[in-house]
Amino acid sequence: MRTLPVVALVVLVGAAPAFADLSPEEVAAIQTEQAKATQAIDDKYAGKGKLSASDLRAMSKEKAAAERAVLDGRGVKPGEWVKASARLSAEDRATVEATKKALSAKEAAAKKSGDAKAGPKDVSIDQGGEVNEAAEMDKKLGLGADKK
Protein backbone atom coordinates (compact mmCIF):
# COMPACT_ATOMS: atom_id res chain seq x y z
CA MET A 1 0.00 0.00 0.00
CA ARG A 2 2.82 2.35 0.77
CA THR A 3 4.55 1.82 -2.55
CA LEU A 4 1.68 3.23 -4.59
CA PRO A 5 2.08 6.85 -3.32
CA VAL A 6 5.85 6.60 -3.69
CA VAL A 7 5.53 5.35 -7.27
CA ALA A 8 3.01 8.09 -8.07
CA LEU A 9 5.37 10.70 -6.65
CA VAL A 10 8.30 9.40 -8.71
CA VAL A 11 6.19 9.43 -11.87
CA LEU A 12 5.04 13.01 -11.25
CA VAL A 13 8.53 14.26 -10.44
CA GLY A 14 9.93 12.51 -13.50
CA ALA A 15 7.24 13.94 -15.75
CA ALA A 16 7.49 17.52 -14.48
CA PRO A 17 10.51 18.54 -16.60
CA ALA A 18 8.77 17.22 -19.70
CA PHE A 19 6.05 19.85 -19.32
CA ALA A 20 8.57 22.67 -19.30
CA ASP A 21 10.48 21.44 -22.36
CA LEU A 22 10.85 24.43 -24.65
CA SER A 23 13.54 24.55 -27.28
CA PRO A 24 15.89 27.55 -27.35
CA GLU A 25 14.29 28.58 -30.64
CA GLU A 26 10.84 28.61 -29.03
CA VAL A 27 12.19 30.61 -26.09
CA ALA A 28 13.71 33.14 -28.50
CA ALA A 29 10.46 33.44 -30.45
CA ILE A 30 8.45 33.99 -27.27
CA GLN A 31 10.92 36.56 -25.96
CA THR A 32 10.83 38.41 -29.27
CA GLU A 33 7.02 38.47 -29.32
CA GLN A 34 6.91 39.66 -25.72
CA ALA A 35 9.43 42.41 -26.47
CA LYS A 36 7.28 43.63 -29.37
CA ALA A 37 4.17 43.60 -27.22
CA THR A 38 5.79 45.54 -24.38
CA GLN A 39 7.40 47.99 -26.84
CA ALA A 40 3.97 48.81 -28.22
CA ILE A 41 2.81 49.63 -24.69
CA ASP A 42 5.94 51.71 -24.04
CA ASP A 43 5.24 53.65 -27.23
CA LYS A 44 1.66 54.22 -26.10
CA TYR A 45 2.80 55.83 -22.86
CA ALA A 46 5.90 57.58 -24.28
CA GLY A 47 4.07 60.71 -25.40
CA LYS A 48 2.62 61.42 -21.97
CA GLY A 49 5.84 62.74 -20.49
CA LYS A 50 6.26 62.06 -16.79
CA LEU A 51 3.83 59.37 -15.73
CA SER A 52 1.79 59.45 -12.55
CA ALA A 53 1.72 56.50 -10.18
CA SER A 54 -1.63 55.34 -11.57
CA ASP A 55 -0.31 55.54 -15.14
CA LEU A 56 2.77 53.52 -14.18
CA ARG A 57 0.57 50.95 -12.50
CA ALA A 58 -1.70 50.74 -15.56
CA MET A 59 1.30 50.43 -17.87
CA SER A 60 2.74 47.64 -15.73
CA LYS A 61 -0.57 45.76 -15.78
CA GLU A 62 -0.87 46.15 -19.55
CA LYS A 63 2.66 44.83 -20.06
CA ALA A 64 1.99 41.80 -17.86
CA ALA A 65 -1.25 41.11 -19.72
CA ALA A 66 0.52 41.39 -23.08
CA GLU A 67 3.25 38.98 -21.97
CA ARG A 68 0.64 36.51 -20.71
CA ALA A 69 -1.25 36.82 -23.99
CA VAL A 70 1.89 35.83 -25.90
CA LEU A 71 2.35 32.79 -23.65
CA ASP A 72 -1.32 31.84 -23.99
CA GLY A 73 -1.07 32.17 -27.76
CA ARG A 74 1.80 29.70 -27.73
CA GLY A 75 0.07 27.34 -25.30
CA VAL A 76 2.67 27.82 -22.57
CA LYS A 77 1.71 28.22 -18.94
CA PRO A 78 3.46 31.01 -17.00
CA GLY A 79 4.95 28.54 -14.52
CA GLU A 80 6.34 26.42 -17.36
CA TRP A 81 7.80 29.55 -18.95
CA VAL A 82 9.61 30.53 -15.76
CA LYS A 83 10.99 27.02 -15.29
CA ALA A 84 12.07 26.68 -18.91
CA SER A 85 13.81 30.04 -19.04
CA ALA A 86 15.50 29.47 -15.68
CA ARG A 87 16.84 26.05 -16.70
CA LEU A 88 18.55 27.20 -19.90
CA SER A 89 22.20 26.21 -20.05
CA ALA A 90 24.89 28.59 -21.26
CA GLU A 91 24.79 26.95 -24.69
CA ASP A 92 21.02 27.29 -24.82
CA ARG A 93 21.23 30.96 -23.84
CA ALA A 94 23.74 31.56 -26.63
CA THR A 95 21.38 29.79 -29.04
CA VAL A 96 18.50 31.97 -27.83
CA GLU A 97 20.51 35.16 -28.43
CA ALA A 98 21.64 34.00 -31.87
CA THR A 99 18.08 33.08 -32.80
CA LYS A 100 16.79 36.45 -31.59
CA LYS A 101 19.40 38.25 -33.73
CA ALA A 102 18.47 36.13 -36.74
CA LEU A 103 14.76 36.88 -36.19
CA SER A 104 15.38 40.62 -35.93
CA ALA A 105 17.57 40.57 -39.05
CA LYS A 106 14.89 38.62 -40.91
CA GLU A 107 12.21 41.12 -39.85
CA ALA A 108 14.39 44.06 -40.85
CA ALA A 109 14.97 42.51 -44.26
CA ALA A 110 11.26 41.87 -44.68
CA LYS A 111 10.46 45.43 -43.69
CA LYS A 112 13.10 46.77 -46.07
CA SER A 113 11.80 44.65 -48.97
CA GLY A 114 8.26 45.77 -48.11
CA ASP A 115 9.37 49.38 -48.35
CA ALA A 116 11.14 48.69 -51.64
CA LYS A 117 8.01 47.05 -53.09
CA ALA A 118 5.99 50.13 -52.19
CA GLY A 119 8.04 52.08 -54.72
CA PRO A 120 9.69 55.44 -54.44
CA LYS A 121 7.98 57.97 -52.28
CA ASP A 122 6.95 61.31 -53.75
CA VAL A 123 9.16 64.03 -52.37
CA SER A 124 8.23 67.65 -52.82
CA ILE A 125 11.07 70.11 -52.79
CA ASP A 126 10.38 73.65 -51.68
CA GLN A 127 12.38 76.14 -53.70
CA GLY A 128 12.43 78.70 -50.95
CA GLY A 129 9.14 80.42 -51.65
CA GLU A 130 9.27 82.42 -48.42
CA VAL A 131 12.45 84.22 -49.47
CA ASN A 132 10.95 85.15 -52.85
CA GLU A 133 7.77 86.38 -51.21
CA ALA A 134 9.76 88.52 -48.81
CA ALA A 135 11.78 89.99 -51.67
CA GLU A 136 8.59 90.78 -53.61
CA MET A 137 7.09 92.48 -50.57
CA ASP A 138 10.24 94.56 -50.19
CA LYS A 139 10.01 95.66 -53.84
CA LYS A 140 6.34 96.61 -53.43
CA LEU A 141 7.15 98.69 -50.39
CA GLY A 142 10.05 100.34 -52.14
CA LEU A 143 12.70 98.67 -50.05
CA GLY A 144 15.63 96.91 -51.61
CA ALA A 145 19.31 96.86 -52.49
CA ASP A 146 18.97 99.33 -55.39
CA LYS A 147 17.99 102.19 -53.05
CA LYS A 148 20.71 104.05 -51.22
In 76-128, which residue ranges form alpha helices assigned H by DSSP? 78-86, 90-117
Q: What is the pLDDT of residues 4-33, one digit of tens each?
A: 554 444 444 444 444 458 889 999 999 999
For 129-133, the CB contacts below 8 A with 24+ separation are: none
Quote the mean pLDDT of the chain: 79
Can you tell me the distance from the alpha carbon of 24 to that of 122, in angstroms, rounded to the nearest whole number?
Answer: 44
Most confident option among 14-23, 74-83, 117-126: 74-83
Residues 66 and 42: beta-carbon distance below 8 Å: no
Q: What is the pLDDT of residue 111?
A: 83
pTM reported for the whole predicted model:
0.60
Percent of the chain with pLDDT over 70: 70
> pLDDT grade, residue 82 (50/70/90)?
very high
- Angle of the 53-74 helix axis to the 24-46 helix axis, nearest 10: 150
Can you tell me the distance from the alpha carbon of 72 to that of 74, in angstroms, rounded to the nearest whole number?
Answer: 5
Q: For residue 24, give the nearest of 87, 98, 95, 72 by alpha carbon.
A: 95
Domain ranges of the chain: 3-109
In the chain, which residue ranges form alpha helices assigned H by DSSP? 3-19, 24-46, 53-74, 78-86, 90-117, 129-141
